[in-house]
Amino acid sequence: MKKLNLLLSALFISLTCSAQESLWGGQNITSPEIHPNNTVTFRFHAPKAVQVKVTGDFLPTVKMDTQFGKVDVPGYAELKEGKNGVWEYTTPQPLASELYNYSFIVDGLKVTDPNNVYVSRDVASVFNIFIVKGEPGDLYSVNKVPHGTVTKRWYHSDALGYDRRLTVYTPAGYENSNKRYPVLYLLHGMGGDEDAWTTLGRTAQIMDNLIAQGKAEPMIVVMPNGNVDQEAAPGESSLGMYKPTMNLPRTMEGTMETTFPEIMKFIEKNYRVENKKSRRAIAGLSMGGYHSLHISKEYPDKFDYVGLFSAAILPDKEKDSDIYKNMEEKLAKQFSKAPKLYWIAIGKTDFLYDANVEYRKLLDKHNYKYVYRESDGGHIWRNWRIYLSEFATMIFK
């Protein structure tokens, strides 16, 4: 009996240790440490490393050649090794209020910070995040205000022949009221999915805070998956846990635009929305801006508010699909119906800047009314969060 008890005790201890491994496996290091003056210290424990660097969007950018031309990417800073193999780097200047991302490069290998559990995924890249308080950082934070609800919903696409997932934000109080709400359809960029705007874009936090401040009207925000060959975000569909990629088929060849009414039909059947042009908006970043441009002109009676955030303007696509043909005629019909707000925003160093200049020349040629917003920086989430924060305050007025 004594042997049996000893055996059971040993088994219990073994199972307990295994189950609690995640509790005791961390390091007693603070990283990042945001100091009172908003300088930030990064630390990494690597006693056998030869070189440790940090890269992130808090650092000056450098130019990199890509398939889209030269684009701005974050530079890097070197950490110095201190006591007990802990490497450190402190920003020489305070950081402005913002949500930042970063990763470490240890002897050439890019890794996340084991002392920071807050991570985000952008296509196939995973990185840590932190927020420096103030404005706009407070807008991207969870504050003590009434909170909306974020849900993942599946709908059936008859045109595509399978179920697909989208993300829906409903404002605080939606579940306990009979009120109908305006709806913003918010579209992601190439390589993104229905998770992008809530994780990288901080949509729920932005909307909660703007609504609580009285700066935005309570609204429903619908964030669909703009990749028509995907059921849902990578790892969230029947395809399993495959590696995400930007090179997806049927991204900008007309199918998203032609099947978009199915998404609207699902939302209008399952949510209390106001089904009229003056209470609908559509906006998107990059590829999502491209989709927003073409969806709004294909269905000119549906949207009174259109937002193009760093939109991919690709006039050569006119030969690919009927959706993209006769663009000037379709724009003429859209603007004859006098949309309340047609908003174009882009960063000064965005690789799509020149294409947006040409598109604005086309609108100017016909005296179409639009609002233009130019910001610093390039094709980055920092800009798109700002654009959403501003656009949301201008719609449904």
Strands laid side by side in the 149-157 sheet? 149-157, 162-170, 220-224, 183-187, 280-285, 305-309, 341-347, 371-375
Same domain, 126 and 171: no
Same domain, 237 and 376: yes
326 Cβ contact list (under 8 Å, min separation 6):
none
Using the 3D structure, point to which of 132, 148, 168 is the last residue of a domain: 132
Same domain, 112 and 82: yes
Same domain, 370 and 231: yes
- Determine, yes or no, domain membership for 179: yes
Same domain, 201 and 327: yes
Of 3-7, 69-73, 143-147, the one with minimum mean pLDDT is 3-7
Same domain, 60 and 187: no
Same domain, 74 and 155: no
Same domain, 180 and 123: no
Same domain, 59 and 149: no
Taking the C-alpha atoms of residue 5 and residue 360, their distance in angstroms, rounded to an integer, is 80
The amino acid that residue 375 corresponds to is S
- Determine, yes or no, domain membership for 8: no
Given a cut of 70, whether residue 69 has pLDDT beyond it is no
What's residue 249's pLDDT? 87
Cα-based torsion angle of the residue sequence 59, 140, 94, 374 in order, rounded to the nearest 10 degrees = 60
pTM: 0.91
CB 52 within 8 A of CB 105: yes
What's residue 317's pLDDT? 66
Confidence of residue 67 (pLDDT cuts 50, 70, 90): low
Reported as half-sphere exposure (CB side, CA atoms, 13 A), residue 390 has a value of 20
- Determine, yes or no, domain membership for 18: no
The DSSP 8-state label assigned to residue 318 in this structure reads G
Same domain, 128 and 149: no
pLDDT, mean over the chain: 92
Segment 183-200 shows an average pLDDT of 97
What's residue 11's pLDDT? 46
Q: Which of 376, 312, 286 is nearest to 60 (CA)?
A: 376
Q: List the CATH number of the domain containing 36.
A: 2.60.40.10
111 lies in which domain range?
A: 26-132
Taking the C-alpha atoms of residue 333 and residue 156, their distance in angstroms, rounded to an integer, is 31
For 16-25, b/e burial (b = at least 16 CB within 10 A) is eeeeeeeeee
Same domain, 47 and 96: yes
Given a cut of 50, whether residue 296 has pLDDT beyond it is yes
Taking the C-alpha atoms of residue 67 and residue 137, their distance in angstroms, rounded to an integer, is 32
pLDDT digits (tens, 9 = 90+) for 102-129: 999 999 999 999 999 999 999 889 999 9
- Determine, yes or no, domain membership for 160: yes
- Determine, yes or no, domain membership for 270: yes
Sign of CA dihedral 390, 391, 394, 397: negative
Using the 3D structure, point to which of 84, 102, 132 is the last residue of a domain: 132
Same domain, 84 and 162: no
- Determine, yes or no, domain membership for 2: no
pLDDT digits (tens, 9 = 90+) for 1-56: 555 555 445 444 444 444 454 455 557 899 999 999 999 999 999 999 999 999 99
What's residue 242's pLDDT? 87
Confidence of residue 251 (pLDDT cuts 50, 70, 90): confident
Domain tally, the chain: 2
